[in-house]
Amino acid sequence: MHDKQGGRQMHIERKLPLVEEILDSFSGVIGADLPAYRNHVYRVTNLCLSLGSFGETEKEKIQVAACFHDIGIWTAGTLDYLSPSEADAAAYLNARGKALWIAEVSEMIEMHHSIRSHAGSPYPLVEPFRRADIADFSLGMVPMGISRELIATLKVAFPNSGFHKRLAQLGSKWFLRHPLNPLPMFRR
């Protein structure tokens, strides 16, 4: 499946071995939410890839950030998940001899909910990753310069599978316990 994005054909990545490896290693922790989270990871990865021409190293960093950006929801059991997600990504990268990537991947995770642009970041992947996640998180209502056709195509290829419903459930539980800090992941 191809979609025109920025005047070029966009190839949809349907099976990424690195994404499968990382997410499978967390299957016991994520549990029944795994299909929904896997599809979110694939949508974010594809949306991010649509925003530029990236080399293999950049593509790998995008996949790592996509797998870990929300993982703290499950590994730490909290909606205040940015720091735990960054820590999980750092542990993964350290274990694979890629410690030099930690600062960039951490900033991608930390800023993925930021409303303000991070185009001035020293790490060029931060801004496209932020835009991709916002486009998916908003269900395409805030497309962030990404074609609505591509967003629609990805929604069909990787169905929501209850991802946003699950986030709403978790958010409701969090709000009841922390009414003065209702959305901690948006604090930055």
**Which residues of the chain form beta strands (DSSP E)?**
2-5, 8-11
pLDDT means per 10 residues in the chain (188 residues)?
52 96 98 96 98 97 97 88 95 98 97 87 96 94 95 95 69 57 52
Q: Coil, strand or helix: which one is 181?
A: coil
Q: Coil, strand or helix: which one is 114?
A: coil
Token representation of residue 79: 């909606």
Q: Which residue has the tokens 């205040």?
A: 80
pLDDT tens per residue across span 117-129: 888 899 999 999 9
pLDDT tens per residue across span 145-180: 999 999 999 999 999 877 766 766 666 665 556 555
What global pTM score does this model have? 0.87
- What is the architecture of the domain spanning 2-186? Orthogonal Bundle (1.10)
Token representation of residue 148: 């609505």
